[in-house]
Amino acid sequence: MNNASGSKSNQLEQLKQFTTVVCDTGDFESMREYQPQDATTNPSLILAASGQEQYSYLIEKAVEDHASGSLSGQERVDSVINHILIAFGKEILDIVPGRVSTEVDARLSFDVSGTIELAKRLIDLYESGGVDRDRVLIKIASTWEGIQAAEQLQKEGIHCNLTLLFSLPQAIACADAKVQLISPFVGRIYDWYKKSTGKEYSGAEDPGVRSVQEIYQYYKKFGYPTEVMGASFRNVGQIIELAGCDLLTISPSLLGELQSATEPIEKRLDEQAAKDVDLERIHLDEKSFRFALNEDAMATEKTAEGIRRFAADMRKLEDLVREKIDALVA
């Protein structure tokens, strides 16, 4: 596989021929370097970026512009954080040609109305800033309540990215809810099985890779339009095994590895081939969804752990904002 100059294409260039590449970071410079189509963020990435000098101006400006007025206490902190999320999102959309994913507070993962309310607020802020809602994906945890909230938001033209997804039942419920996109977490599935079995996994044997393959095949077999975006990678091998997936969201370090390698990549996931796989359709209501998830120890534990981690980082971001507000009004 050669480019126009006759030199070998690197693996990132090859991957982009099969799959839409998304950058999983809050680092704008990485996005400029690797030129992804879309970008994803979460509270952990925003928190990490906020500690870097080149991004602190976004935090400072949000505090200065939105810490005054009639709001006080937690409402003031919430308002500033919402504006920080939108500020990062708008900067990202100035770099990538596609969409940005912005996450709702993980503490709302079991609150349907609260998730809907915050998602609408975030979209309103984007639109008031001149950003079309079609360029924004609202990230919501793949709990039963999160999926129900996303179903309602999709009906109102707000596109959703269902994150913290570790199992086929979660993926099926998301597809039935007609969400725009799901983010199955390859690396965290791998982590769980490696810890629980003491085994190393690679290639097609990797349980995280197999989970995304299973979801992809199910979606294409039954004609679901929901996009599959593999996420949370631990190594380049996992990415290569999923070449052909609708989208893959990749950290800057792994994008760098792909860009510096030239070994050939083959398309591993194919929509037409998936349609020929022998699968039975699965029907889920709330009771069967909750039981199926409960039967999967890995998915149950990793979903809960992910929510706790994102919630903890949101609290840290709140503490940072609160300190800056106090310093400003002192």
Q: Report the catalytic residues.
A: 139
Point out which residues pair with 180 in neighbouring strands: none
Closest to 307 in 3D by CA, of 162, 192, 195, 181: 162
Give the separation between CA 137 and CA 64, rounded to whole angstroms: 27
Q: In terms of Cα–Cα distance, which of 19, 302, 73, 44 is closest to 167?
A: 302
Cα(229)–Cα(100) distance, integer angstroms: 13
- ∠ at Cα 55 (36, 329), nearest 5°? 145
Q: Of 288, 268, 313, 295, whose CA–CA distance to 18 is shortest?
A: 268
Instruction: Kindly state the DSSP code that residue 9 receives in the 8-state scheme.
Output: P
3-state secondary structure of 111: coil
Cα 31 to Cα 11, 204, 220: the distances in Å are 17, 29, 30
Secondary structure (3-state) at 281: coil
Q: Interior CA angle at 303 toward 301 and 306, to 5°?
A: 105
